[in-house]
Amino acid sequence: MVSGLLILFCLASTQVLGQNSYRSGLLPTINLNQKLKQDWRINYQWQSRWIMAEGLFSEPAEKRWAYSLSDLSIVVSKKVQGNKGLALGFLTRFVGDEQRFRLLQQYTSVEKFPTFRLGHRIRADQTWGAKDAATFRLRYRLSLDVPLNGATTNPNELYFKLNHEYLMALESNDFSLEIRMVPMIGLFLTDNNKLETGLDYRYDKVGSSKSRHSFWWAVNWYYSFGN
């Protein structure tokens, strides 16, 4: 993971000097998790993007407040072998007057240690729309979850979470790589209610003249209900 961080920051520094584009804004997310019998679970998610500034690093910032898009998704998952899980899902994306659709398949695994947790997620997805060529993506995410008040996180206590993800995409024979780094501070409100906020950084089309750096201020709310 440390080597991945070094690669990310070296590449980012190189591309900044190359005067690539950037954008920044707000990324709110609501996650509703419904627990079912026999270790089944349904996740309902709404996420929206709001752009506050965008442009080139070599030019003055173009500040504005504009709606970008919204995602609605539903993912059905099943725990297998204790700490592992399989999931299938469907997402609808609203971009202006256009609508795009995405199917997803994923595998997750969680390793628990005395003072932290490591999560692994492998996800494949396929996206299409009326005006866009189909996009096929494969992504791997490593997550670190650390309590900030002792060995475990209890109600009204803080925790730190770091997601590090590599995302490969293929669209019309055009291959691209995206790297994401998401450090978050979370507050464990109750057993079924938590809030997180932090920076969602994305480096898209790595090594390309069209590469872009995205800086989203993320605010995530999670609520669980059911059996």
In what helix (H) or strand (E) does residue 2 lie, and over which residues does it extend? helix 2-17
Rounded Cα distance between 80 and 61, Å, is 49
> Of 60, 71, 63, 143, whose CA–CA distance to 106 is shortest?
143
Q: What is the mean pLDDT of residues 212-216?
A: 96
**Cβ atoms of 186 and 194 closer than 8 Å:** yes
pLDDT band at 14 (very low <50, low <70, confident <90, very high): very low
Tokens 């947790």 belong to residue: 117
Q: What tens digit of pLDDT does each residue of 112-124 get?
A: 999 999 999 999 9
The predicted pLDDT at position 57 comes to: 81
Burial of 15 (0-12, 13-18, 19+ CB in 10 A): buried
The answer to whether 180 touches 168, Cβ cutoff 8 Å, is no
CA atoms within 13 A on the CB side of 226: 14
Q: What is the CATH number of the domain that holds 50?
A: 2.40.160
> 210: domain range?
2-226
pLDDT attached to residue 152: 83
Check if the beta carbon of residue 137 is closer than 8 Å to that of residue 117. no
> Distance between CA 82 and CA 111 in Å, rounded?
11
Residue 113's alpha-carbon distances to 82, 117, 143, 152, 153, in angstroms, are 15, 6, 13, 10, 13
Instruction: Work out the pLDDT band at 17, boundaries 50, 70, 90.
Output: very low
Q: pLDDT tens digits, residue range 41-94? A: 999 999 999 999 988 887 777 777 899 999 999 999 999 988 999 999 999 999
User: b/e string for 177-214 if b means 16 or more Cβ within 10 A?
Assistant: bbbbbbebebbbeeeeebebebebbbbbbbeeeebbbb
Residue 142 tokens read as 């490593």
- Of 44-48, 159-163, 172-176, the poorest mean pLDDT is in 172-176
For residues 120 and 154, which has the higher predicted lDDT (pLDDT)?
Answer: 120
Question: Does the pLDDT of residue 107 top 70, yes or no?
Answer: yes
Give the total number of structural domains in the chain. 1
Mean pLDDT of all residues in the chain? Answer: 90
Residue 6 has pLDDT above 50, yes or no: no
